[in-house]
Structure 1
Amino acid sequence: MTSYDITTSPNIISEPLNQLHLSSENQEKINHILDEFKYLNVLSQYGLHTTHKLLFFGDSGCGKTATAKAVAKELDKKIITLDLSEFVSSRLGETAKNVNTIFKKAAKENAVLFLDEFDSVGKLRDYDTKDSGEMKRLVNTLIQLIDYLPNNVLLICATNHMHAIDKALLRRFETTMEFIVPNDKELDVYYCSLLERFPEKFHNIQKKYAISYAEAKDLVFNQVKKQIINQEKAKEKLTHEQLNN
């Protein structure tokens, strides 16, 4: 299965939206978009379109992908995920054709289309390079696809390098959301939320700060796993000693 075939149903194992640690600004924007999709038919009666072209940008591991999945789950939609960094190849003509196919698939399935590593096709380019013509055509194709995206399809693009994206592409997005490394207070709240699922005896961990949510999650789970394994090893050792006495 190629990277652009991946389709995930709404019941994907992911964190519910209300359990994500979003900034108040991002939470407000997400809630507004969910409301618009809920009342899509009513809005259309007044000639109004939903806000359905979003750009998530910011630090890696701070919730862009998790938010996209949670929104799809909240809307009870399938999510089609495309990692553009793996997708874009030297055969750019074929890439443009396949991107068109993905957009059609999203429209047909009334899905959320999540394009990760969006800067892979949106980068400002030196158009004197040998691939410049094909890349320019690919970017133009993408602009047209975004412009004519059906109102029922939610497009979410994500990047860690917003500054590298062509301004013509940036103008296509109706809403942008920044995801940044959490501060100490936000991380403390997150650490508590991760640990509360485990017995209190496993809560003694070494915390780190100035890291992403993804890094904090790995940090907690690795330390808890180590404590659990050490506990089991101690039990096995005690049992072995008792049998030998």
Structure 2
Amino acid sequence: MTYNTTFFESTEKYRLNDVFADDKISTQLALFLKEYNQRELLDKYNLPVSRKLLFFGPSGCGKTFAAQALASELDRKLITVNLTSIVSAKLGQTAQNLSNLFQKAKISKSILFLDEFDSLATIRERDSKESGEMRRVANAIIQLIDKLDKNILLIAATNQLQLIDHALIRRFEHKVEFTLPTNDLLDRYYENQLSNYPSRFQDIKRSYQISYAEAKVKVINEVKKMVLDEGEKINSIKNTNINEESH
């Protein structure tokens, strides 16, 4: 395989309560986890066990972190793959790349996290050659999902659900929508991030109607500015004292 895959093995054990999300998302993730952990009970009554989740919503709202948390909860390796990295210009090679990827996940009994899922499952029409290739890729993914090995848990994520073929969407038992956090959730997130710094650096101007990723960048930049300003003041005082002593 010529594409790059990222194997995420968390050194820190995340839990679902570490995921900043509204009650609806938390309930859906907890239900999936409960179902999989009690799969033997479901098998006893010939009830199917859900093994496929589709995360959708704006970038930076917690999709990747939720996948990491589920992997930690289940004590599984998370294989994270950006699907744009395995699209091949060679006709037909993309489908083979996907098949190899699913086989790798099967052997390692991993959770397979397909990011930017819309990059391979697009229904947007361009020229006939590309549309034909995309249809072949969509059909290949459908076949791989329909024959998903019991040792694989599949999570797909997209920022553009409207670009995904409905036949693919239907294959996922759980569809979890991640939205921009409410002000209350953002306040909790700000408090969590700011708790990593001394109290004198925690008074920042907070922005709302933004993603968690944007809020994290804001915290870092605001705290960094205060740290540098404090450093300048300390150095200025030191230089003043040195000059006074030299006289």
Distance 1:235-1:15 versus aligned 2 partners, 3 A rule: farther
Which residue of structure 1 lines up, in the alignment, with residue 231 of structure 2?
232
Which residue of structure 2 lines up, in the alignment, with residue 112 of structure 1?
111
Distance 1:5-1:188 versus aligned 2 partners, 3 A rule: closer
Residue 5 of structure 2 is aligned to residue 5 of structure 1? yes
Distance 1:229-1:14 versus aligned 2 partners, 3 A rule: farther
Structure 2 distance, partners of 1:14, 1:63, is 16
Secondary structure at 1:205's aligned position in 2? Answer: coil
Structure 2 distance, partners of 1:65, 1:149, is 21
Structure 2 distance, partners of 1:171, 1:183, is 29
CA contact (8 A) 2:121 2:137 kept: no
Q: Aligned-pair distance for 1:15?
A: 5.2
RMSD: 2.0
Structure 2 distance, partners of 1:150, 1:199, is 49
AA of the residue aligned to 1:6: T
Further displaced range: 166-175 or 191-200 = 191-200
Which runs of 5 or more structure 1 residues have no equivalent in the other structure?
A: none
Which runs of 5 or more structure 2 residues have no equivalent in the other structure?
A: none
Distance 1:16-1:226 versus aligned 2 partners, 3 A rule: farther
Secondary structure at 2:47's aligned position in 1? Answer: coil
Secondary structure at 2:96's aligned position in 1? Answer: helix
Which residue of structure 2 lines up, in the alignment, with residue 88 of structure 1?
87
* 1:107-147, Cα deviation, whole Å (9 max, x unpaired): 11111100111111111143861233322221111001011
Describe how 1:46-125 pairs up with structure 2 within 5 A: 46-125=45-124
Further displaced range: 33-42 or 222-231 = 33-42
Distance 1:208-1:6 versus aligned 2 partners, 3 A rule: same
Q: Aligned-pair distance for 1:208?
A: 1.0
Q: Aligned-pair distance for 1:185?
A: 2.3
* 1:170-199, Cα deviation, whole Å (9 max, x unpaired): 110101010111122222222122212222
CA contact (8 A) 1:121 1:138 kept: yes
Q: Aligned-pair distance for 1:13?
A: 5.0
Structure 2 distance, partners of 1:154, 1:60, is 22
Which residue of structure 2 lines up, in the alignment, with residue 197 of structure 1?
196
Structure 2 distance, partners of 1:182, 1:167, is 27
CA contact (8 A) 1:122 1:165 kept: yes
CA contact (8 A) 1:4 1:102 kept: no
Equivalences, count: 244
Further displaced range: 46-55 or 137-146 = 46-55
Which residue of structure 1 lines up, in the alignment, with residue 128 of structure 2?
129
Structure 2 distance, partners of 1:110, 1:48, is 22
Describe how 1:204-243 pairs up with structure 2 within 5 A: 204-243=203-242
Structure 2 distance, partners of 1:136, 1:128, is 12
Structure 1 distance, partners of 2:17, 2:170, is 30
Structure 1 distance, partners of 2:126, 2:58, is 28
Which structure's CA Rg is the greater one? 2
Q: Aligned-pair distance for 1:228?
A: 1.4
CA contact (8 A) 2:16 2:26 kept: no
CA contact (8 A) 2:82 2:115 kept: yes
CA contact (8 A) 2:22 2:185 kept: no
Q: Aligned-pair distance for 1:5?
A: 2.9
Q: Aligned-pair distance for 1:222?
A: 1.1
Secondary structure at 2:59's aligned position in 1? Answer: coil
